[in-house]
Amino acid sequence: CFLLAIAAKRVFPDRRLVISHSLGEGYYYYFAALQNIKDEDLKALEDCMRDLIRNDYPIDRREISYADALSHFEKTNQEDTALLLRQRNESRVHVYVCGGFIDLAHGPLAPGTGSVCCFEFKNLEQGFLLRYPAQGEPGKLRPYEDLPNLTAIYKEYKAWGKILGVNAVGRLNDIIARKKIIDFIRVAEALHNKKIASIADSILEIRDRVKVVLIAGPSSSGKTTFTKKLTIHLQVVGFNPIAVSLDDYFLPRERTPLDENGGLDFEALEALDVELINRHLLELFEGREVLIPDFDFKTGRQADGGKPLRMGERNILLIEGIHGLNDGLTPLIPGHLKYKIYVSALTQLNLDDHNRIATTDNRLLRRMVRDYNFRGYSALDTLARWPSVRRGENRNIFPFQNNANAAFNTALDYELAVLKVYAEPLLKTVKPFHEQYNEAVRLLSFLNNFSPVPANLVPRQSILREFIGDSGFKY
């Protein structure tokens, strides 16, 4: 990112480069006020970047005065960076310097421009992708994979950002400072509800064939609240939805597979009684009554009996779980009977012109706050578990996201300003002698960019309430 910013300033000094979002192993960029970029422009950027790599110019981290930093970013047309600085009051500002190029320091960088091993550009609609190697695979690029659902989410969410007038943290902070955040929250929540209503309408259009809606997404995406809100909108259009929990279809504990560390792997598809799930679904679709099992987590097996269930004419099943998009969960169910929804929290906010907000950070902070509020886990516990959670997502969720019929982005542009109030004191409990200390410090530094928003402004039916509490829904 830093290397591209240098190249863009050298090759196109009058253009404003803006980072947008991650997409697979890459970042999507565009030039402000420029509809499309030419292939020869990307070639010029690539040539400049390769020259920077060959010369291995030093990248220095420095402190400069607040006034000098603000003046520089205003003069160099870095609007979002300057706006972010205006809401801060440190007398000294950390920046990275390479030649005559200066950018805000948000995290560690390599010591020189020669550290980059390989990259490539891909021209896309209204912008371009800077592709890089996957983690753990230095020196090579994976084949490009189109991700239409993610692309559609970001395109729609960017349009929402234009409606809301916010694309970066500095602009959000400005709204908070001008005491306009209540109206901003109302519009953000209304856009969520409008999108959920449109998904319900899409399901209504194929009501003659669809029998089950499968909802999946990574950790802390807000799947549970999304499912509850979708239930309401499906009722509005005439359905009588029935929620079925995959948790009740776990195999007995002695048949649960083990993970790489020898622990019970409840996230593996093989931990579920797939045969029973499919048999029950087929019987329900035929109008027969089944006994939905009740899994007892204390004994590690299904309790005796079960809950009787029969589908009527207006019923539709809603199944939420990490394997919902994987056809291995429902191999006996014909595709035309299934409607799959991918749910994730994909923030479109940037920190500034050249630095994005990692969507994983958004979900990690959600999970940390929820773990503390409802599960009795400390911030240290959440940080320690997070790498394992991410490995499970990479194995069980992300490979199947393109199987979805629809996608919903649960991120709210104001939510990190609310989560900040909860997460900061939790992160401060992680001490220098803890292994996760550096990660806690990084997250605290990240949250320092946000002005706080009090939780009492968050509507009780908001997806954010799933994590901060006092929701209007029961879980």
| Per-residue pLDDT tens digits for 119-168 | 999 998 788 989 988 877 777 888 888 877 777 777 777 777 777 788 89
The mean per-residue pLDDT over the stretch 264-272 comes to 88
Tokens at 329, concatenated: 């969960």
Secondary structure (DSSP) of 156-210? HHHHHHHHHT-SBHHHHHHHHHTT-HHHHHHHHHHHHHHHHHHHHHHHHHTTTT-
Q: How would you classify residue 376: left for phi > 0, otherwise alpha for psi between -120 and 50, otherwise beta?
A: left
Q: pLDDT at residue 19 above 80?
A: yes
Q: Indicate the fold that domain 2-146 takes in CATH.
A: Threonyl-tRNA Synthetase; Chain A, domain 2 (3.30.980)
Q: pLDDT at residue 433 above 90?
A: yes
Q: In the prediction, which pLDDT does 204 show?
A: 98
Ramachandran angles phi, psi of 269, nearest 5°: -60, -35
| CA distance linking residue 396 with residue 267, whole number of Å | 8
Q: Who has greater pLDDT, 258 or 192?
A: 192
Q: pLDDT at residue 437 above 90?
A: yes
User: What is the chain's mean pLDDT, rounded?
Assistant: 92
Q: pLDDT at residue 259 above 90?
A: no
The mean per-residue pLDDT over the stretch 228-247 comes to 95
Q: In the prediction, which pLDDT does 99 show?
A: 86
pTM of full prediction above 0.85: yes
Q: Which of these, 12, 406, 399, lies nearest to 196 by C-alpha position? A: 406
Identical fold between 2-146 and 150-468: no
- The identity of residue 36, as a single letter, is N
Domain range summary for the chain, segments of one domain joined by +: 2-146, 150-468
Quick: pLDDT tens for 154-202. 777 777 777 778 889 999 999 999 999 999 999 999 999 999 999 999 9
CA gyration radius for the chain?
Answer: 24
Residue 199: CA count within 13 A, CB half-sphere: 27
Query: How many CB atoms sit inside 10 A of residue 376's CB?
Result: 8
Within the chain, what is the greatest distance between any pair of CA atoms?
74
Q: pLDDT at residue 342 above 90?
A: yes
Quick: pLDDT tens for 96-113. 999 889 999 998 899 999
Q: Does 150-468 carry CATH code 3.30.465.10? A: no
How far lies 241's CA from each of 21, 229, 315, 344, 409, in Å? 35, 11, 5, 22, 22
Residues 6+ apart with CB under 8 A from 216: 223, 320, 321, 322, 323, 324, 325, 326, 340, 341, 342, 343, 397, 400, 404
Q: pLDDT at residue 373 above 80?
A: yes
Quick one: pLDDT band at residue 266, thresholds 50, 70, 90?
confident
Q: Who has greater pLDDT, 30 or 44?
A: 44
